[in-house]
Amino acid sequence: MVIAIDGPAASGKGTLARRLAAHYGLPHLDTGLLYRAVAARCIALGRLADEAASEQAAQTLDVSDLDPEALRTAELGEGASVVAARPGVRAALLDLQRRFAGQTGGAVLDGRDIGTVICPDAPAKLFVTARPDVRADRRFRELLGRGEDVSYDAVLADILKRDERDSGRSSAPLLKADDAVLLDTSDLGIAAAFAAALAIVEARRG
Ligand code: CDP
């Protein structure tokens, strides 16, 4: 069983993906970490603007070497969105995502293009969203908790800019797949959002 979860920044898709994976005993891949890791390599080399450098970083990425703690910074979220708009970077990361999805028993993947490009045949697809102010508030608290020095206004501006870049790019834009079920988590706590997501997946399994 493959569960494909897409949505914009801080919509709650990562939390839902982790919980669904735990519930069904499936492996989970947060595909945003791949793009964040590519951005981290490029920034370390001082070459974020260099398309060839980002493609090479994507081609040589070691998935076993992803450190979520180090990668979930605001700077790398922004950098990830820059490198993710490059078709060569996306192409280099395609196979490993499909292999992950193809594991015996299935997998849960979350990102921006899982239901549309990576796993178009996934039986269960969710498109998770929430109002921008709610997403900004969640991300603001998360970054504060990590000790980052950020303001709510800067986080909201970053989220709006990333929404626009991710939705407007020509290569695998953020888009709800026709057969994905929309889940708006704006007014849902984690338990309620999980219950709603589980009901959607169970209906598709049936
Ligand atoms: O956690 P958050 O939603 O803020 O970001 P993320 O899921 O870690 O993704 C960071 C950036 O990577 C996004 O803004 C996208 O530009 C890009 N991304 C993508 O293009 N395709 C994916 N499947 C996952 C992430």
Q: Give the number of other Cβ atoms within 10 Å of residue 199's Cβ.
A: 12
Closest C-alpha residue for ligand 1 atom 17: 81
Angle at 64 between CA 145 and CA 117, to 5 degrees: 85
Q: What is the pLDDT of residue 64?
A: 82
Which of 110, 92, 89 has the alpha carbon at shortest distance from 101?
110
Q: What is the pLDDT of residue 65?
A: 78
Closest C-alpha residue for ligand 1 atom 9: 32
Closest C-alpha residue for ligand 1 atom 5: 9
3-class SS of residue 135: helix
Which residues have any ligand 1 atom within 6 Å of their CB?
9-10, 14, 31-32, 35-36, 77, 80-81, 84, 111-113, 162, 166
- Tell how far the Cα of 107 is from the centroid of ligand 1, in angstroms: 18
Q: pTM of this prediction? A: 0.95
Enumerate residue ranges in the chain where pLDDT < 50: none
Q: What is the pLDDT of residue 141?
A: 96
Q: How far apart are CA 49 and CA 86, in angstroms?
A: 11
Q: What is the pLDDT of residue 91?
A: 98
Which tokens is 122 given? 């996934």
Compute the CA torsion angle 99, 100, 103, 108 (nearest 10 deg): -140
Count, residues in the chain = 206
Q: How far apart are CA 34 and CA 163, in angstroms?
A: 18
- Tell how far the Cα of 43 is from the centroid of ligand 1, in angstroms: 17
